[in-house]
Amino acid sequence: MEIAYVLLFALTFFLLGLLRRVAIRAKTARTTAHCPHPNSVLGNTLEFIRNRRRFFDWYTDLLRASPSGTIEASAPPPAELIGDGLFAADGRLWSLQRKLASHAFSSRALRRFNDGVLAAHLHHRLLPFLDAAAAKGNGGVDLQDALRRFGFDAICHVAFGVVQSSSSLVQGGAKNDEALFAAFDAALEISFRRALTPATWLRRLTKLLDVSKSRRLREAVDVIDRHAFSVLDSKQAARQIRDGGDPDLLSRFMAAMDEEEDGGSDLGAMFPNPHAKRRFLRDVVVGFVLAGKDTTSSALTWFFWLLAANTRCDRRVHEEVAAAGDDVKAMHYLHAAITEAMRLYPPVPFNGRVALADDVLPSGAAVREGWHANYSAYAMGRMEEIWGKDCMEFVPERWLGAGGEFVPVDAARYPVFHAGPRVCLGKEMGYVQMKTVAAAVIRRFRVEVVSPLANMEMPPALRDDCDDENEGRAVGAACEAAGRVC
């Protein structure tokens, strides 16, 4: 989710960079990209303000109206949030990390560890929490919040190898862990809002004086750093005593960078001193937490919301889950329903890259050096040309073959996990988590949506009327999708 926020606001910033855009357009007479509001003075600004609460749907409308399926905007590079971790790195630093991480993600040890983490967090936290909510009767529960906390604790456990309890999911959850959860949210939220506007003198001043949001951002990053470094140091100390061979991601990276394993020593050699290496390891794990923190919970929240609104699909999922026992691999309809939920509401609705050199897209649209080439998985999931006339309907059956088996499609058609060499490494892990949680919840509870949305549009990602107290709270993907479990 947060990856999407950053990219979304980077784009927004671009749309507001009008003067630069005008200058660039003059150079690109050959582009076939659609320029939806070619007002040479105001560009898209008024339209953007009018549509800011339905940004993704506005963007989808613009793409639908473009004959080539592309629209034109320009921008500076996005704000850097996650240091030198896998997401932000390029070139050799990325390829060495990718190789190491690919081995880690495909290892049996990590899979087994992930399964154990999932089972523990599910049976000792999420389900008991929902049991208690259901026992209370009509009160309702913020299902999205519960799933986010579950997802956060689970990914922190897999990434750092330590048990987190961020949460209201456990009675008296640890204060430090709650602070870490809040720090991740606050850091991303403030960065997200900042990407909306260019850095003004006021922002520079608040940074210099360490006040206001600059201070809150610094404090949030400090909390994250303190946690990451303390885990790193204790793992380092433990390794000096024993060779534990712990399967979590951080331990694997630490071990590989000291050894001739999976190119890890080449990666280690890229850092001139222990301090730089320690900082890099911090970036690596923080990146993993960001990758897994809100993606699966967003997909699951929409899944439950869509299921509650579609009785036929709800019935089929229930039947399958009841018949398949604990074997999530055998649950093809569930797999299809989750995939279909992500088609309509992808956890990363918007993504892009910066062009290193002038290029021309297959559509004929010119892309200049330094421009962003963005795509919207949200808009693509709602295109009639790609998904047919029923593209706005929730139809899990579109993913099933004649024998009822799940049939995947090309990543270029369904870029929910990205495509190409940088395709998501946690896709399989994510599906296992989503299916395991969905099956367990479905088997035990009936989820009713308290306030159904009026249509299929994405609710706003942020409230703009929030007071200062609540300012750091992203409403997130499924906005008001609070559920009642019974």
Residue ranges of the annotated binding site for heme are 424
Task: Report if residue 300 touches ligand HEM, rule: CB under 6 A.
Answer: no
Tell me how crowded residue 239 is: count the other CB atoms within 10 A of its CB.
16
Among 191, 351, 374, 376, binds ligand HEM (CB under 6 A): 351
For residues 89 and 447, which CB has a smaller minimum distance to ligand HEM in the complex? 89
Among 8, 73, 122, 291, binds ligand HEM (CB under 6 A): 291
Binding residues: 424
What crossing angle do the helices spanning 249-258 and 91-106 adopt, rounded to 10°? 120
Q: Give the DSSP letter string of 207-270.
A: HHHT-HHHHHHHHHHHHHHHHHHHHHHHHHHHHHH------SHHHHHHHHHHTTSTTHHHHHTT
Q: Which residues in the 127-166 window bind ligand HEM by CB under 6 A?
A: 155
Task: Report if residue 355 touches ligand HEM, rule: CB under 6 A.
Answer: no
Q: Give the DSSP letter string of 377-444.
A: HHHHTT-HHHH-TTTTS--GGGGB-TTS-B----TTTSGGG--GGG--SSHHHHHHHHHHHHHHHHHH
For residues 60 and 295, which CB has a smaller minimum distance to ligand HEM in the complex? 295
Among 8, 63, 71, 86, binds ligand HEM (CB under 6 A): 86
For residues 8 and 86, which CB has a smaller minimum distance to ligand HEM in the complex? 86
* CB-CB contact of 282 with 233 (8 Å): no
Task: Report if residue 87 touches ligand HEM, rule: CB under 6 A.
Answer: yes
Q: Which two tokens stand for residue 447?
A: 């989820």
For residues 368 and 418, which CB has a smaller minimum distance to ligand HEM in the complex? 418
Q: Which span sits near ligand HEM by CB under 6 A: 59-67, 190-198, 291-299, 397-405?
A: 291-299
For residues 426 and 472, which CB has a smaller minimum distance to ligand HEM in the complex? 426
Number of residues that bind ligand HEM (CB under 6 A): 24
| Per-residue mark of binding to ligand HEM, 396-435 (x: CB under 6 A) | --------------------xxx---x-xxx--xx-----
Q: Which two tokens stand for residue 433?
A: 């988590």
Task: Report if residue 292 touches ligand HEM, rule: CB under 6 A.
Answer: yes
Beta-strand ranges (E) seen in 279-338 are none
Burial bucket for residue 147 (CB in 10 Å: 0-12, 13-18, 19+):
buried
Shortest distance (Å) from residue 137 CB to ligand HEM: 32
Q: Which two tokens stand for residue 437?
A: 């949680």
Task: Report if residue 96 touches ligand HEM, rule: CB under 6 A.
Answer: no
Name the closest residue to ligand HEM (Cβ). 426
Shortest distance (Å) from residue 53 CB to ligand HEM: 23
Helices and strands in the chain, H and E counts: 20, 6
Q: Which residues in the 163-192 window bind ligand HEM by CB under 6 A?
A: none
Tell me how crowded residue 253 is: count the other CB atoms within 10 A of its CB.
24
Task: Report if residue 250 touches ligand HEM, rule: CB under 6 A.
Answer: no
Among 78, 161, 173, 347, binds ligand HEM (CB under 6 A): 347
Distances (CA, A) of 256 to 106, 231, 268, 305, 426: 15, 17, 8, 42, 19
For residues 279 and 422, which CB has a smaller minimum distance to ligand HEM in the complex? 422
360 DSSP β-pair partners? 366
Shortest distance (Å) from residue 96 CB to ligand HEM: 11
Q: Which span sits near ligand HEM by CB under 6 A: 46-54, 220-228, 285-293, 394-402?
A: 285-293
For residues 87 and 333, which CB has a smaller minimum distance to ligand HEM in the complex? 87
Among 98, 279, 318, 446, binds ligand HEM (CB under 6 A): 98
For the chain, the distance separating the N- and C-terminal CA atoms, rounded to the nearest angstrom, is 28
Distances (CA, A) of 269 to 94, 220, 263: 14, 30, 10
Render the burial of 100-112: b for 16+ CB within 10 Å, e for the rest.
bbebbbeeeebee
* CB-CB contact of 450 with 465 (8 Å): no
3-class state of residue 484 by DSSP: strand
Shortest distance (Å) from residue 17 CB to ligand HEM: 21
Q: Which span sits near ligand HEM by CB under 6 A: 72-80, 268-276, 346-354, 359-367?
A: 346-354
Tell me how crowded residue 194 is: count the other CB atoms within 10 A of its CB.
18
Task: Report if residue 299 touches ligand HEM, rule: CB under 6 A.
Answer: yes
Residues contributing to the site for ligand HEM (CB under 6 A): 3, 86-87, 98, 101, 155, 288, 291-292, 295-296, 299, 347-348, 351, 416-418, 422, 424-426, 429-430
